[in-house]
Structure 1
Amino acid sequence: MAQPQARSTTETTVDVRATGHVRDALGKSQLTYTFEGDTLREFVEEFFAEYDVRDLVIAETEADSTTRGWAPIDAADVPGHLRKNPDGERTRAYARILINGQFNENLDGFDTELQDGDRVALVYPFLFCL
């Protein structure tokens, strides 16, 4: 039987940037945030417990992470490596989490290690249709 993982006692301080709907919900576009741990998973767990913006960023279902009208993708025809985060770790359609300007799914997803001073961006832009 697997032993439960012990939580890290490391504290990490990151610069959080927010755009669009997340910025509106937070009431500011930038803040410094210290959390217990050193991974994106530990950051989002604590940050979303303190700031009620989880539903603006994280998709609960596959339908929440995609939007109507996107062309279906045949992974065999895509050059390179096509990856998306596992269920429960996907962002809503149009929302993204970036670490130092890179999408988290292009790094190690929610297991991406964070260091003091890293920038974590919670992006959910306003969309206007004319």
Structure 2
Amino acid sequence: MTSVFKIGGVLVSLVLVVLTAALELYLTPLRAGGVPIGVAVLVAAVANWLISWFATETVGRRWAVGPAWALWTVLMFIAAGTRTAEGDYLISGNDWVALVMILVGSLTFAVYVYRAILKPAPVTNQ
């Protein structure tokens, strides 16, 4: 029964990654008075940290962050290379908010994993 919860935890974290990545991409062009406000960067940091925490807590293993991190990275690569119907890229090379969002989002996963590695692994009776 516990393996069902572990698989479910990974699947839920992957669904959360897809939803939050779409939200982050949607928020990248957000501006206030014509100035980019960068709220997508904050959303990426908070969402990715919470997804990492959820994945490790439900699965009980540090590797559970890996699938979520990989999927998030693949989605960002796809978004960076995808053109809209008008011919624009979803993430352009001169959009500093999107580029910083990708950097901070990936670093959030990396920092979470690094901190998890530094903590001693919990002892489980399996």
TM category (shorter chain) comes to: under 0.3
Q: Which has the higher contact order (CA 8 A, sep 6+)?
A: 1
Structure-1-length-normalised TM-score: 0.24
Structure-2-length-normalised TM-score: 0.25
